[in-house]
Chains A and B, each alone.
Chain A
Amino acid sequence: MKRLLAILMLLLPLNLAAEGLDMQEYLFGHVGDSYEWHITTIGGRPLSIPLPVIVHSKTSGWHCFSSAKLEHGGSFDNFSIAPKGDKYAGKVVETLPDGSVVKPLDISVTKNVLGLLINSALLVVIVLATTGWYRKHDAREEAPGGFVGLMEMLVTMVEDDIIKDCVGKDYKRYSPYLLTAFFFIFINNLMGIVPFFPGGANITGNIAITLALAICTFLAVNLFGNKHYWKEILWPDVPIFLKAVPLMPVIEIIGMFTKPFSLMIRLFANILAGHVMILGVVAVVFLTAELGAAMNTGLSVIAVFFGVFMDCLELLVAFLQAYVFTMLSSVFIGLSRQEPASENE
């Protein structure tokens, strides 16, 4: 069985070229961003939600129009989506009267933005519904059950296990941000696994999202760092020759940026890889269609089995990455608030 599988795996790339499915477009189309939200294709007609394209051109100012106008290489007000192979492939570009192509300032509500809006609204509703319970009940007299109980358990877990332990003394100041980060990442991870409409957008696997989150942590660490933290960076407790030529300060300053950078890359890469893996496993079903019914059925069963496995793994990763991001943020914040006295202990 294992040898058979190995042989089949070897056969797969050979078939890729012959296959009608464009693997690259399939993968990048699913994990990437797009101007419309493609839900499914029914009878050869793509069913997608058109989203607003908002661009600012240097020559003609603000434009806002439906992405449906740009479908299939269409153009609107000289705006079109740059074709494959172009420098701005997949982005909205403006063709100036002299024929040159420039990229306008683009703040379109793309698939990821809409997904972000939906997930954020969901998160706000969930959390505010949870607080609603506390408003109606006396939390000192009774404990919530059901969904509110689950939320309370998660909040308590994050606060007690991560924030309290890693940040230290005045954790209360940071816990709203860290809790928000945790639940924001968690819900976006989970919604990313859901394969149909409100979910399925690869939000936390997009580097812009993780960059914004990493910037927030960077600000939380550096804006409220204490004197000891800055002294450790600019004038660390090392022999003078390491400071005269500012070797250590330079390393420390680079370290300031590598910490959030690692946060950004870790979350982005983990979620992106998870999406690509699931998509790859699902693609097996379509890629093996040419190998005959028996082979296709057999491999499809295996692919479905692996798909279930990968989805379960992604559920774990969804939680784990939210946990890790929150924990590392807490640790960095905790380091920036360390007191010299506690270090000597």
Chain B
Amino acid sequence: MSLITPDFGLLFWMTLIFGIVFFLLAKFGFPMITGMVDRRRERIEDSIAKAKEAEERLSSLAEEQARLIEQTRLEQSRIISEASETRDRIVARAKEEATEEAARIIDHARVEIAAERESAIRDIRRQVALLSVDVAEKIVRRELDAEAGQMELVDRLIDEASGVKPS
């Protein structure tokens, strides 16, 4: 059989066999394999993208966390400073109020004391007056017993009265 002239019989069979093989493989073989490989490739790409996304989210989450902590710390210090301010203010006001109250109480006490003293003095005066009257009565009773004494008393009283009056 000549090498370089295509034999009809073989060409016929080749066409038939290759046709059948092509049909079988093109229908049931290769598209399935390539399709599956493509699907797996898609899946892998998808997974990588997802992993990257997750990583990004994680890193942004960490950032967010750090930011939150920072924010919280600021807030904390602000609250603390505010609280101490408030405390100072309250203490200051309380002090003020206490001072005012004390002053008021002291004033009141002073007024009361003055009033008490007044009344005490008045009382003493009255007692002294009564006492003087008693004393004077006694003296007068005793002096009047003697004539000389009476006279002397009258004189002295006149003296006193005249001496007192001009003063």
Residues of A with Cβ closer than 8 Å to B? Answer: 28, 31-34, 54, 89-91, 105-110, 112-113, 116-117, 120, 123-124, 127-128, 130-131, 134-135, 139-140, 143, 151-152, 155-156, 159, 172, 175-177, 179-180, 183-184, 206-209, 211-213, 216, 272
Other A-B pairs beyond A105-B8, A179-B34, A208-B8, 9, CB < 8 Å: A33-B1, A107-B9, A107-B12, A113-B13, A124-B24, A134-B33, A140-B40, A176-B29, A207-B4
Name the contact of A32 in the complex, choosing from B3, B9, B36 (C-beta under 8 A): B3
Q: With contacts A31-B3, A113-B9 known, is A139 near B18, CB below 8 A?
A: no
Asked if B25 and A123 make an inter-chain contact with CB atoms under 8 angstroms apart, the answer reads yes
| B158 sits at the interface (CB 8 A) | no
Asked if B1 and A127 make an inter-chain contact with CB atoms under 8 angstroms apart, the answer reads no
Shortest beta-carbon distance from B54 to chain A in Å: 19
Q: Which residues from chain B contact A213 at a C-beta distance below 8 Å? A: 18
Name the contact of A155 in the complex, choosing from B33, B39, B40 (C-beta under 8 A): B33
Q: Which residue of A lies closest to B21 (CB)?
A: A120
Mark each residue of chain B from 12 to 33: 1 if its CB lies under 8 Å from any CB of chain A, else 0. Answer: 1111011011101110111111
Q: Which residues from chain B contact A151 at a C-beta distance below 8 Å? A: 33
Asked if A128 and B13 make an inter-chain contact with CB atoms under 8 angstroms apart, the answer reads no
Asked if B28 and A131 make an inter-chain contact with CB atoms under 8 angstroms apart, the answer reads yes
Asked if A139 and B39 make an inter-chain contact with CB atoms under 8 angstroms apart, the answer reads yes
Q: With contacts A117-B17, A176-B25, A209-B14 known, is A139 near B30, CB below 8 A?
A: no
Asked if B14 and A183 make an inter-chain contact with CB atoms under 8 angstroms apart, the answer reads no
Name the contact of B10 in the complex, choosing from A90, A105, A113, A140 (C-beta under 8 A): A113
Q: For the complex, what is the distance from the CA of A208 to the CA of B22, rounded to whole Å?
A: 17
Residues of B with Cβ closer than 8 Å to A? Answer: 1, 3-15, 17-18, 20-22, 24-26, 28-34, 36-37, 39-40, 43
Asked if B22 and A177 make an inter-chain contact with CB atoms under 8 angstroms apart, the answer reads yes
Asked if B3 and A112 make an inter-chain contact with CB atoms under 8 angstroms apart, the answer reads no
Asked if B25 and A183 make an inter-chain contact with CB atoms under 8 angstroms apart, the answer reads yes
Q: Which residue of A lies closest to B26 (CB)?
A: A176
Q: With contacts A124-B25, A134-B36, A139-B36 known, is A110 near B9, CB below 8 A?
A: yes
**10 A–B contact pairs at CB < 8 A?**
A106-B7, A110-B9, A112-B10, A113-B9, A127-B30, A127-B33, A156-B34, A176-B26, A207-B5, A216-B22
Shortest beta-carbon distance from B75 to chain A in Å: 48
Q: With contacts A134-B32, A206-B10 known, is A124 near B3, CB below 8 A?
A: no
Q: For the complex, what is the distance from the CA of A135 to the CA of B26, rounded to whole Å?
A: 16
Shortest beta-carbon distance from B51 to chain A in Å: 16
Q: For the complex, what is the distance from the CA of A115 to the CA of B19, rounded to whole Å?
A: 16
Q: Which residues from chain B contact A172 at a C-beta distance below 8 Å? A: 34
Q: Which residue of A lies closest to B37 (CB)?
A: A156
Name the contact of A211 in the complex, choosing from B11, B17, B22, B34 (C-beta under 8 A): B11
Asked if B40 and A143 make an inter-chain contact with CB atoms under 8 angstroms apart, the answer reads yes
Q: Which of A143, A152, A208 has the most CB of B within 10 A?
A: A208
Q: For the complex, what is the distance from the CA of A24 to the CA of B26, rounded to whole Å?
A: 41
Q: For the complex, what is the distance from the CA of A345 to the CA of B21, rounded to whole Å?
A: 39
Q: Which residues from chain B contact A140 at a C-beta distance below 8 Å? A: 39-40, 43
Q: Which residues from chain B contact A177 at a C-beta distance below 8 Å? A: 22, 26
Q: Which residue of A lies closest to B42 (CB)?
A: A140
Q: Which residue of A lies closest to B36 (CB)?
A: A139
Q: With contacts A113-B10, A134-B36, A156-B37 known, is A207 near B26, CB below 8 A?
A: no
Q: Which residues from chain B contact A176 at a C-beta distance below 8 Å? A: 22, 25-26, 29-31
Q: Which residue of B lies closest to A92 (CB)?
A: B9
Top 4 closest A-B pairs, CB basis? Answer: A176-B26, A139-B36, A208-B6, A127-B29
Shortest beta-carbon distance from B76 to chain A in Å: 50
Name the contact of A131 in the complex, choosing from B12, B21, B33 (C-beta under 8 A): B33
Q: For the complex, what is the distance from the CA of A116 to the CA of B16, rounded to whole Å?
A: 11
Name the contact of A33 in the complex, choosing from B10, B25, B26, B29 (C-beta under 8 A): B10
Shortest beta-carbon distance from A273 to chain B in Å: 11
Q: For the complex, what is the distance from the CA of A209 to the CA of B75, rounded to whole Å?
A: 85
Q: For the complex, what is the distance from the CA of A172 to the CA of B150, rounded to whole Å?
A: 162
Asked if A127 and B18 make an inter-chain contact with CB atoms under 8 angstroms apart, the answer reads no
Q: Which of A109, A117, A127, A156 has the most CB of B within 10 A?
A: A127
Q: For the complex, what is the distance from the CA of A127 to the CA of B29, rounded to whole Å?
A: 6
